[in-house]
Structure 1
Amino acid sequence: MEVKIGVQHAPREIVLESNQSSEEIERTVAEALSGKSQLLTLVDEHGRKVLVPADRLAYVEVGEPAPRRVGFGAL
């Protein structure tokens, strides 16, 4: 899944590809926003953890991964 995370007072968003399901990501975000956890913790497809303070979250967008294009075809 492609996940985009907006962070307050940061000019760029965090974009990562995760092997977690959208339900798992949604549950993790809900726990962080409800105060059960101080950090939003997600794992990318390479096994690296991304930690964002829950009080700094602006938005989280979860979508399907974009297919990778190969070659020089017309866009």
Structure 2
Amino acid sequence: MDITIGVQNLPRELVIDSAQSADEIAAAVEAALGGSKSTLELTDARGRRVIVPSASIGYVEIGTENKGTVGFGAL
């Protein structure tokens, strides 16, 4: 699942490929933005943790799940 995080005062956004489900990511974002946590912590597909202070989050875009495609053409 691709996740894009816009951070305030940074010209580039963070792009993470995560194995977490969309519901897990949405719950983590809600907890961070709701004030119950001071950071947004996500784990990428390789097991690395990404921690962003919740006060500096501009936006979070949760993409669709990555499905591996086989072949050259689209059906």
Tell me the TM-score range normalised by the shorter chain: 0.7 to 0.9
TM-score (norm 2): 0.86
Deviation (angstroms), 1:70 = 8.3
The percentage of counterpart residues that share the same residue type is 43
Give the alignment's Cα RMSD to 1 decimal. 2.0
Equivalenced residues, count: 72
Equivalent-residue separation in structure 1 for 2:16 and 2:67 (angstroms) = 12
* Equivalence for 1:17: 17
Q: Match of 2:37, SS?
A: coil
Equivalent-residue separation in structure 1 for 2:58 and 2:70 (angstroms) = 31
* Equivalence for 1:42: 42
Query: What stretches of structure 1 of length at least 5 have no aligned partner?
Result: none
After superposition, residues 1-75 of structure 1 pair within 5 angstroms as 1-64=1-64, 65=66
Deviation (angstroms), 1:69 = 8.7
Letter in 1 for 2:3: V
Deviation (angstroms), 1:31 = 0.1
- Residue 49 to residue 70, structure 1, CA distance change in 2 (3 Å): farther
4+ residue segments displaced more than 3 Å: 65-71
Equivalent-residue separation in structure 2 for 1:33 and 1:7 (angstroms) = 13
